[in-house]
Structure 1
Amino acid sequence: MSWWWRCLRTAVRHAVLEQARNRLALALVVFFVPLWLWLAYRVLPDTPVRFFLRAAGHPVSTGANTVTQLSGALHSIALIVGFMMFLATSRSTEFDRRLVTAGFPKVCLLLAKNTVLLLSAVLTGSYATVWLCFFWRPERLDVMVAAFAGGALTYGGAGILLAAVLRSELAGMFLVIMVSFVDLGLQNPVANPAADSPLLRGLPAYGAMQSAVSASTGTLTPWHQLLLSGCWAVALAMAGPLVLTLRGGRWRGTLTLLKRPGGATGTGRNAAWRLRHPVLSLIYRRAGITDPALVTGYEACRRLVRSSGPMEIAFTQLISARVRPLFWAMYGYVRVIDDLSDDTGDGDQDRAARVSAFSLALEADLRQGRSSDPVRGALVHAVWTWNLSSEGLASANAVFRMDAARQTEFANWDEWHTYWDTLAFPFDVSRPTALLGAPGLFLAPRDAEALRRWNHAFNLIDCLGDLHQDAENGCIKLPATVLGQYGVTAEDLRLKQPGAQFATMVHALAGQAREWLGQAASIGAQHPPVAVAFRTLVELQHLELRRIERNPQALLDGRRPPHPVRFQYTLLRGRLRVARAWQRHRPTGSVTTAVLPAPRPAAADHGPRTSQALLPPAPHPGGAVPPALSGRRMPQHVAIIMDGNGRWAEAQGQVRSAGHHAGQHALRDVIYGALEIGLPCLSVYAFSTENWARPAADIETVLSVVSSGLDMNTEELWRRDVQLRWSGSTDDGRLPAELVDRIHRTTRATRERTGLILNVCLNYGGRHELAHAARALARQAAHGGLDPDRITPRHLARHLYQPDLPDVDLLIRTSGEQRTSNFLPWQSTCAEYLFLDPLWPDIDRTHLWAAISTYATRDRRLGTTK
């Protein structure tokens, strides 16, 4: 039953929106009714007209202008409401049929139309009565409203009936005009001296006209005439849907399809949601979000925004609807993880564990391209769809873990700025800022800095509003220098005894926020809609600052909402200005979106696993130990081109095969060094697609050495915490089947290990890998699953050999050669390069440590400036 009521509410909402789109009818109601009343009052004389009023049972004498006003008001209401219902019913017929065919209850649609008809009749009747009171006051206002509403109901039902019979809008308009003209013209005693004729009692507007005149001249309630008007209204209102149903054969037999939620098809549920939320549905369609699961996640994020505060709601309402879901998803992520870190129900360790689990799950979801959690799923979709950089997520998650452990303290304003910039822009401010633009409109680089200043002001105001709550949690998010300057402590704030300097501190901080807002006023100089939006946000923040400055002591009583009237008025005015700005600068492009390819499922894995306990890496023969590096200085992915085996063997007076065996020992020692220093991922270039041009004996030796190194029973490396990955082509069939099988067995056996990921690039070529990804995208586009014009770099990266590995931070090549040789070109676009002179067999773990130490000293700006 609850599903049925939800469908009814949906149908009513859709019917109301359908009426609201008829701007001509709304304009006629607003302007035509008072104009008709004014003309009738000014043009016609007030000469008494005597006629028999059957509602009163005796003759009455009423001014000609008064009777004409009543007749004209009824005529205009009947005409407008009748045509409104005709137009709305005619235009929605085919759509309603599709809904019913999909399983939507037909009764809901019929009741919705009659509900909207009743609502329209009451509103227009009340509106006409109000205007009538400007000229003279009827004796019975309630009867007057009922009379006007009865006439509107009657002709509204006639409009539905005509829509079931006619298909031409012009024909429907003509019939509504003519029928109402004849009916109301004969009811007016000024135009028809025989208006009291018994024959007129059969006309639809007779009861309404009699009731209206009775309300203007007497105090009795004309029950019979009101009942007559109601009967006409009910009869016509029922006749229209009945004829509509009889004419629509496809509607028959569908009444019982949707009595419960389980009986609805997916199409019916989606259509019902679109009807309940037409504006949101349009926003999602423009953003390319059609998957119901994704819509559920975005809706969860949107509800989090609405429950956060008026400023968050105002921000999302002022920005372009094209990118609104993106900001819902980003804010939803921040809100969820912030709530986890602020939860006061558990201890610091439990909070930190929950935050860590959420952040790790999010990072894994971003690598896979999807998530089972609604909020994380929306964020992952947003990051992939809008091609956001997620490099700042790790730092943001680390800050939230500090919050959860109650370790957030700021010594000065610099630390405070860094904290809020890390949380506010985990995806790099430049990309979301660019998405706010449109063809012909853009945000300059200085706008990004102004946006940071606005964010600082926003967060400072937010900190002031949360002073008492932060004091209760023992974590004041204001610089210690400010608190110390005014002698304010967290304990004083918790006890609501901040001292005499508290008000001075609040005023000083409010002044600082005003200064930042002034610096943010230049946002959008080349983008008028965004400029208007942020000016509105600045005005709203000034309202909040004025409230704070008037009563600083109230901050200790908790957060208070802004003044509702001023805030909503300012927001409404700003939204209207933003809408006008977009009309003048309407974008012609569309936001870059695409349907995400599903991640490649993990292969069924029932291979052998090692049951032995994993050993620590073997120590360096010379006793060397790795240098101490901070986590931030440690690269996440190091790639090595192992070059010089053959030249090393020739220099030693040995055959080339000896160089390959020596290179295997060097690789084992480097892997041990990577384990000791804590390197997460290491990629090595074992054999390239170009190496097939070498002599057959050399190729056989290399593949034999690789095969022996993959033997789980003899190779001591696999007794350590090393997980094997393979990047390379299998399409050409060149690799021996036994070698490929051994690679797969070792990969399966080590898949659960968490120490070092060893990515062996065997039969690998960077161009081959990109061609492989391009072919996968082309197949999706050919099958209609992907729009070629909306492919982002993330979509191509998803089809690389190992898409979940991080990009290469440091690429090393030995033997003095200074080229990359088609090695990981996509992954190494932002890598630091280091070329070493020693040949590969002469390399050991100390060279790796030295290279990582050199990497730690480099200033990695990645295209930006400090």
Structure 2
Amino acid sequence: MRWWVRCLGTAVRHAALEQARNRLALVLVLFFIPLWLNLAYWVLPGDPVRFFLRAAGRPVSLDANTVTQLSGALHSLALIVGFMMFLATSRSGGFDHRLVLAGYPRLCLLLARSGVLLVTAALTAGYATAWVCAFYLPERLDVMAGAFMVGALTYGGVGILLAAMLRSELAGMFVVIMVSLIDLTLQNPVANPSADSPLLRWLPAYGAVQGAVSAVGLGAVPWRQLLLGLCWSAGLTAAGVVAFTARTSRRASVRALLGRRVTGPALRMVTLRLLHPVRARVYRQAGVHDAVVVKGYEICRRLVRRSGPVEAAVPQLFPARLRPVLWAVYGYGRHLDDLSDTRRLGRQDRYERVSRFGALLEADLRRGHSEDPLRAAVVHALWTWDLPGDGMAATDRVYRQDAQGTSALATWDDWSAYWHALTFPFGVKRLLNLFTAPGLAFVPTDAEALRAWTDAFNLLDTLRDLREDAAEGFVKLPSAVLDEYGVSAGDLARGQAAGRFADMVHAMTARARQWLEQATTAGAQHPPLAAALRTVVELHLLELDRIDRNPRALLKGPSRADPVRFHCTLARGRFRVARAWRRHARSAPHLPPTVTLPQPAADSPAAPDTRPLLPPVPHAGGARPPRLPAHLRPRHAAIIMDGNGRWAVRRGLPRTAGHDAGQRAVRETVYGALEIGLPCLSLYSLSTENRERPAAEIAAILRLFQDGLDTETEEVWRRDVRLRWSGVPDGLPPDLVRSLRRTEHLTRDRTGLTLNMCVNYGGRDEIAHAARALARQVADGTLSPDAITPRHVAAQLHLPDLPDVDLLIRTSGEQRTSNFLPWQSTYAELVFLDTLWPDVDRTHLWQAVAAYARRDRRFGTTRSTPGTPGEHPFQG
């Protein structure tokens, strides 16, 4: 209470000071009012004027100078008080904004503004009444003072209202003058013989004029006219107060104080903190400070809210610091669903958009950042909370099928496989583990219960979107169910409940209830999760009850639960969850602090090569690459180019001749990679251990590198090849380092093949470099040691944006990896060739890729998928 009183005192003091600083208004009050009254009384004739006074209900006769004096007094008050309130309200805008942002209640500002208006109107009305009494004594002095005050209050409200609409002081003064001049001139019988017209009753100063004239010659009080004047003053003052309230809102204050000086991401962050402090605290607790990432999370949050009330309620039942990751996980799928289902695009366009989003997100995940807000949020969630994301490829594939219209669900097994691919792209176990803490644990049955809940959730979502999906030609129910109940997609699209539609809906809701009953067994050793899931189940049951009462309503649109029962159930559930978390407050989930994600390096000033790119040189024997589906080709192949020296020795040549011959094999391999469509190829050109070889041999190798980097003479760079360099510059000639950097930059916009040249490279040195970088972040306090995940290590490698190696090839019959990309090759398929490197051509690469396509890659799971990562839904 003391704080509120202090705020009110500050607002009143400021408003009063604003009026006191208006010296022009004070001069007008002191001199303009008596000047106008004197001129009206002495200059105008005292001839009687007869007119009809509606307050008396009869004609009256008053001297012309008296009537004009009263009209002039009211006009003076209208001008002065209206201008005073306009100027004070307009000039105090900046200070009012600062008070609002400082936490001052706007009610204090409103009371202060209204109070100052009341005092100003009372003082000026009293001053004008005193001057009128200097000429004659009215019959009812109180009525005259009241009439003058009503007129002053009316135009004071006009001034406050204009201050919210106009910014120019000249414009405000002009509007006040013109309105008051028209109003009071029309009501003066000296200037307007038709002053008794009934239309004048709708003018603002009508009640004040009728009351002032009545106070001179009538003993009665004109209550009806004074009340009408009070209504005008109250209405205009209320309108001014509403406009003032809108002008001093927190959002308007942010725009007024920061809109011109802060732009872009900084403005969004400041606006979020000021307008939505609760969500800002959520992001602070989650360690999210980047404006682009915050914007992406906000996009995901809006996607969740748009999906339905239950979807929007689920994140509110979990700790605030985990809500962003839940928004991102759901927003990712919702965005892809929107891309695949949008009706304004054709199927091919939808397919391309879904494919492009998946490819861009995959590239962003390798880099650890994104320029697109939504993808930045997804990347941040996967990196910060170490979500696996291996199922994203399967999810993207399903959405591409949806976009093309090739998805088909014949049985419940098909239905389960379809929805599990969409629901579990990030690993259920890892999501569950985010909630674990000392004293709280999950058991294997919790994952099964969660899976049962997602089945019920997906079935309910299918029922909600039944007609919309039917209009798209793909009802997300097994076709066997539709056939059993005699329901066709065409009838659903037309909104017709053909066949046994109601029976089918009741059967589906019964199945969803069974799954929800299984879901209630989750969280036996985790009370907060149990309370949250119990609340979600209750909300779903409310939706199912509404559907069971009126199944045909599904053909008109989504059926929602009763809002009153829904929000009561949600409030009760939030209370249960909060109480469960309070009981385990000491075991709150530990989340990593802010992590430093890799940022792109600044480009050098060199300009890219704009010459037209040529196709690969055909194979000398006319060989063509095998035709393999894209998902069976490796994303990244790496080759240990071994056998140059032995090739030369066997021919009686110096070892340097073997390296010269190896250059031809490099070109052949690059052309083969382009023809078969490899995205990335790494070549082990020079290891840190190779530096121990004879100086002459090292000098020859470095000379070959230098020559091969010349974009004017080396034919490889005339193709769609982008150069990347893995290694360290220590010990390399400065000219070679500059050439590597220059060629990297000249080819940076190529998209065909990324050629990673590993020059002066050592795998253990690369990992040690990553460890040192993470140690520096820990020492700086920007990273907690307990928060380090494999992604953090991978982000500090030489080229973190390249995908992991899928296929590792070594030539010359040796069978070891020799410190080559040890981190990236953890799950690589190995192929060893007996051929010496100078004898290798592109067909050897194609044979290795074909062998890779035939292998089953399980990545530690029990389900095998040829050539692609495992997609087990519960992969952690």
CA contact (8 A) 2:466 2:555 kept: yes
The 1:835–1:526 alpha-carbon spacing in structure 2 relative to 1, beyond 3 Å, is farther
Q: Which amino acid aligns with 1:860?
A: R
CA contact (8 A) 2:606 2:746 kept: no
Matched, 1:347 2:341: no
Alpha-carbon offset, residue 106 of structure 1:
6.3
Matched, 1:842 2:836: no
Alpha-carbon offset, residue 690 of structure 1:
0.8
Q: Which amino acid aligns with 1:819?
A: R
CA–CA distance in structure 1, aligned partners of residues 404 and 794 of structure 2: 36
SS in structure 1 at match of 2:673? helix
SS in structure 1 at match of 2:831? strand
**Which of 799, 802, 807 matches 2:804?**
807
Matched, 1:621 2:615: no
CA–CA distance in structure 2, aligned partners of residues 263 and 745 of structure 1: 41
Alpha-carbon offset, residue 760 of structure 1:
0.7
The 1:682–1:547 alpha-carbon spacing in structure 2 relative to 1, beyond 3 Å, is same
Match of 1:852 in 2: 849
Match of 1:34 in 2: none
CA–CA distance in structure 2, aligned partners of residues 564 and 795 of structure 1: 45
Q: Which amino acid aligns with 2:803?
A: P
Alpha-carbon offset, residue 371 of structure 1:
3.3
Matched, 1:427 2:439: no
CA contact (8 A) 2:546 2:559 kept: no
SS in structure 2 at match of 1:682? strand
Match of 2:227 in 1: none
Match of 2:603 in 1: 603
Match of 1:593 in 2: 593
- 1:335-379 deviations in Å (ceiling 9; x for gaps): 333223322233333433444444444334334433343333322
Q: Which amino acid aligns with 2:735?
A: E
Q: Which amino acid aligns with 1:590?
A: H
Match of 1:311 in 2: 310
- 1:222-279 deviations in Å (ceiling 9; x for gaps): xxxxxxxxxxxxxxxxxxxxxxxxxxxxxxxxxx999544478899996775464443
Matched, 1:684 2:696: no
Alpha-carbon offset, residue 780 of structure 1:
4.3
1:307-706 paired onto structure 2 within 5 Å = 307-586=306-585, 587-597=587-597, 599-607=599-607, 609=609, 611=611, 613-706=612-705
Q: Which amino acid aligns with 1:833?
A: L
Long gaps (5+) in structure 1:
1-7, 13-99, 119-255
The 1:450–1:786 alpha-carbon spacing in structure 2 relative to 1, beyond 3 Å, is same
SS in structure 1 at match of 2:314? helix
CA–CA distance in structure 2, aligned partners of residues 853 and 524 of structure 1: 47
CA–CA distance in structure 2, aligned partners of residues 724 and 461 of structure 1: 50
CA–CA distance in structure 2, aligned partners of residues 788 and 751 of structure 1: 35
TM-score, with structure 2 as normaliser: 0.66
- 1:655-704 deviations in Å (ceiling 9; x for gaps): 32232223222222222221121111011111100111111122223223
SS in structure 2 at match of 1:399? helix
CA–CA distance in structure 2, aligned partners of residues 482 and 380 of structure 1: 39
- 1:701-723 deviations in Å (ceiling 9; x for gaps): 32233333333233322222211
The 1:618–1:258 alpha-carbon spacing in structure 2 relative to 1, beyond 3 Å, is closer
CA contact (8 A) 1:368 1:804 kept: yes
The 1:524–1:818 alpha-carbon spacing in structure 2 relative to 1, beyond 3 Å, is farther
CA–CA distance in structure 2, aligned partners of residues 513 and 417 of structure 1: 13
Q: Which amino acid aligns with 2:326?
A: F
The 1:810–1:474 alpha-carbon spacing in structure 2 relative to 1, beyond 3 Å, is same
CA contact (8 A) 1:726 1:760 kept: yes
Higher mean alpha-carbon deviation, 518-527 vs 669-678, is at: 518-527
Q: Which amino acid aligns with 2:791?
A: R
SS in structure 2 at match of 1:762? strand
CA–CA distance in structure 2, aligned partners of residues 605 and 264 of structure 1: 31
Alpha-carbon offset, residue 802 of structure 1:
1.2
Match of 1:795 in 2: 792
Q: Which amino acid aligns with 2:837?
A: W
Match of 2:828 in 1: 831
CA–CA distance in structure 2, aligned partners of residues 259 and 740 of structure 1: 52
Alpha-carbon offset, residue 819 of structure 1:
2.1
CA–CA distance in structure 2, aligned partners of residues 259 and 505 of structure 1: 57
CA contact (8 A) 2:465 2:558 kept: yes
Alpha-carbon offset, residue 596 of structure 1:
2.5
Alpha-carbon offset, residue 428 of structure 1:
2.6
SS in structure 1 at match of 2:856? coil
The 1:706–1:413 alpha-carbon spacing in structure 2 relative to 1, beyond 3 Å, is farther
Match of 1:819 in 2: 816
CA–CA distance in structure 2, aligned partners of residues 302 and 636 of structure 1: 33
Q: Which amino acid aligns with 1:582?
A: W
- 1:46-82 deviations in Å (ceiling 9; x for gaps): xxxxxxxxxxxxxxxxxxxxxxxxxxxxxxxxxxxxx
CA–CA distance in structure 1, aligned partners of residues 650 and 820 of structure 2: 26
CA–CA distance in structure 2, aligned partners of residues 269 and 476 of structure 1: 40
The 1:116–1:385 alpha-carbon spacing in structure 2 relative to 1, beyond 3 Å, is farther
CA–CA distance in structure 2, aligned partners of residues 500 and 820 of structure 1: 65
In the comparison of the two structures, how many residue pairs are matched?
630
CA contact (8 A) 2:648 2:655 kept: yes
The 1:337–1:625 alpha-carbon spacing in structure 2 relative to 1, beyond 3 Å, is same
- 1:81-123 deviations in Å (ceiling 9; x for gaps): xxxxxxxxxxxxxxxxxxx9998326974445859999xxxxx
CA–CA distance in structure 1, aligned partners of residues 739 and 772 of structure 2: 27
CA contact (8 A) 2:254 2:274 kept: no
CA–CA distance in structure 2, aligned partners of residues 318 and 778 of structure 1: 36
1:210-249 paired onto structure 2 within 5 Å = none
Alpha-carbon offset, residue 582 of structure 1:
1.8
Match of 1:224 in 2: none
Alpha-carbon offset, residue 562 of structure 1:
0.9
Q: Among all aligned residue pairs of Structure 1 and Structure 2, give the percentage whose two residues are the same amino acid.
A: 56
The 1:609–1:109 alpha-carbon spacing in structure 2 relative to 1, beyond 3 Å, is closer
The 1:294–1:412 alpha-carbon spacing in structure 2 relative to 1, beyond 3 Å, is same
CA contact (8 A) 2:606 2:742 kept: no
- 1:476-518 deviations in Å (ceiling 9; x for gaps): 1222232233332211112233433323322333333233334
CA–CA distance in structure 2, aligned partners of residues 107 and 658 of structure 1: 76
Q: Which amino acid aligns with 1:746?
A: T
CA–CA distance in structure 2, aligned partners of residues 355 and 740 of structure 1: 40
Alpha-carbon offset, residue 445 of structure 1:
4.2
Alpha-carbon offset, residue 452 of structure 1:
2.6
The 1:517–1:766 alpha-carbon spacing in structure 2 relative to 1, beyond 3 Å, is same
CA–CA distance in structure 2, aligned partners of residues 108 and 702 of structure 1: 68
- 1:11-64 deviations in Å (ceiling 9; x for gaps): 99xxxxxxxxxxxxxxxxxxxxxxxxxxxxxxxxxxxxxxxxxxxxxxxxxxxx
CA contact (8 A) 1:386 1:593 kept: no
SS in structure 2 at match of 1:378? helix
Q: Which amino acid aligns with 2:99?
A: P
Alpha-carbon offset, residue 799 of structure 1:
2.6
Alpha-carbon offset, residue 382 of structure 1:
1.7
CA–CA distance in structure 1, aligned partners of residues 271 and 341 of structure 2: 37
Alpha-carbon offset, residue 781 of structure 1:
4.5
CA contact (8 A) 2:486 2:499 kept: no
Q: Which amino acid aligns with 2:348?
A: Q
Match of 2:862 in 1: 865
Match of 2:713 in 1: 714
CA–CA distance in structure 1, aligned partners of residues 823 and 655 of structure 2: 32
CA contact (8 A) 2:608 2:749 kept: no
CA contact (8 A) 2:339 2:354 kept: yes
Match of 1:774 in 2: 771
CA–CA distance in structure 2, aligned partners of residues 257 and 555 of structure 1: 43
CA contact (8 A) 1:679 1:756 kept: yes
The 1:678–1:357 alpha-carbon spacing in structure 2 relative to 1, beyond 3 Å, is closer
Alpha-carbon offset, residue 785 of structure 1:
4.4
**Which of 737, 748, 754 matches 2:745?**
748
Match of 2:60 in 1: none
Q: Which amino acid aligns with 1:105?
A: L
Match of 2:99 in 1: 105
CA–CA distance in structure 1, aligned partners of residues 268 and 651 of structure 2: 75
SS in structure 2 at match of 1:863? coil
CA–CA distance in structure 2, aligned partners of residues 567 and 259 of structure 1: 39
Alpha-carbon offset, residue 753 of structure 1:
1.6
Q: Which amino acid aligns with 1:863?
A: G
TM-score, with structure 1 as normaliser: 0.67
